[in-house]
Amino acid sequence: MHTATGWHVLCHTVSQTWRGLLSILRKLKNAPDQEVRILLLGLDNAGKTTLLKQLASEDISHITPTQGFNIKSVQSQGFKLNLWDIGGQRKIRPYWRNYFENTDVLIYVIDSADRKRFEETGQELAELLDEEKLSGVPVLIFANKQDLLTAAPATEIAEGLNLHTIRDRVWQIQSCSALSGEGVQDGMNWVCKNMNAKKK
């Protein structure tokens, strides 16, 4: 079930549009086994919303900074993935923890070309990994924007962020371009293989 081929289902996803307050509550509740709650975090301008829309096969030509959050559901390998994309601007980062409850997988997105902010993004990630409500939650780090010439390779980012010191959970770094879609599926394959055991 968790093979790479299974992921192709995603290419034919039924992308559900956002559905009001009530649907937030439906997604908030203890999801049935076949539903997975995925949190997308990262600094502003990391490409979280582009990634979300790429996953939902939606138009990515007009994306503005997220002032709140976006939610989309996509079907994959028999699972319903509820993806929560939360705005990353500094003033709203303290509110990330509003969304920690019942998270099955954390996806952390990094702008690989924004070297000036590697330290900042590393700090935010370290703080997330210290959060009690996210303890043990598998984390996928997308080294995004690999389409840019100035992008740092994933290995360099992994080293700079000391990812090898993460020992309390499974983790993976995946280089990708949310714009072209390259690498995105590989990352999501990892997600489906490594989501919390109770969901399998």
Partner 1 sequence: MKLKRFLLRYYPPGIILEYEKGGELKTKSIDLLDLSQETDICALVEEIKKTEPLITPPRTEQVKQLIQRLQEKLGQQDDHRFFLFKVLRAHILPLTNVAFNKSGSSFITGSYDRTCKIWDTASGEELHMLEGHRNVVYAIAFNNPYGDKIATGSFDKTCKLWSAETGKCFHTFRGHTAEIVCLSFNPQSTLVATGSMDNTAKLWDIQTGEEAVTLTGHSAEIISLSFNTTGDKIITGSFDHTVSLWDVQSGRRVHTLIGHRGEISSVQFNWDCSLIATGSMDKTCMLWDANNGKRLATLTGHEEEVLDVCFDYTGQFIATASADGTARVYNASSKKCIAKLEGHEGEISKICFSPQGSRILTGSADKTARIWDPYTGRCLQVLEGHLDEIFSCAFNYEGNTIITGSKDNTCRIWR
- Note the residues at the interface with partner 1 (CB under 8 A): 17-22, 25-26, 28-29, 67-69, 87, 91-92, 95, 97-98, 101
Burial of 81 from C-beta contacts in 10 A (0-12 / 13-18 / 19+) = buried
Q: How far is the CB of 30 from partner 1 (least distance, A)?
A: 8
Nearest residue (CB) to partner 1, 27 versus 145: 27
Largest alpha-carbon pair distance within the chain? 43
Q: Is 162 marked as a binding-site residue?
A: no
Q: Is 186 marked as a binding-site residue?
A: no
Alpha carbons within 13 A on the beta-carbon side of 100 = 17
Nearest residue (CB) to partner 1, 65 versus 78: 65
Say whether 185 is catalytic. Answer: no
Amino acid at 166: I
CA distances from 74 to 64, 111, 142 (A): 22, 24, 19
Q: Is 46 marked as a binding-site residue?
A: yes
Catalytic residue among 89, 123, 174, 185: 89
Contact in structure between 153 and 119 (CB atoms under 8 Å): no
Q: How far is the CB of 69 from partner 1 (least distance, A)?
A: 7
Q: How far is the CB of 173 from partner 1 (least distance, A)?
A: 29
Torsion of CA 77, 172, 195, 74, to 10 degrees: -40
Q: Is 147 marked as a binding-site residue?
A: yes
Nearest residue (CB) to partner 1, 26 versus 200: 26
Q: How far is the CB of 87 from partner 1 (least distance, A)?
A: 8
Buried-state track 135-151, b at ≥16 Cβ within 10 A, e below 16? eebbbbbbbbbbeeeeb
For residue 60, give both structure tokens.
């990515």
Q: Is 48 marked as a binding-site residue?
A: yes
Nearest residue (CB) to partner 1, 84 versus 142: 84
Binding-site residues for Mg(2+), please?
Answer: 49, 66
Catalytic (active-site) positions: 89
Detail the residues annotated as belonging to a binding site: 42-49, 66, 88, 144-147
Residue positions forming the annotated binding site for GTP: 42-49, 88, 144-147
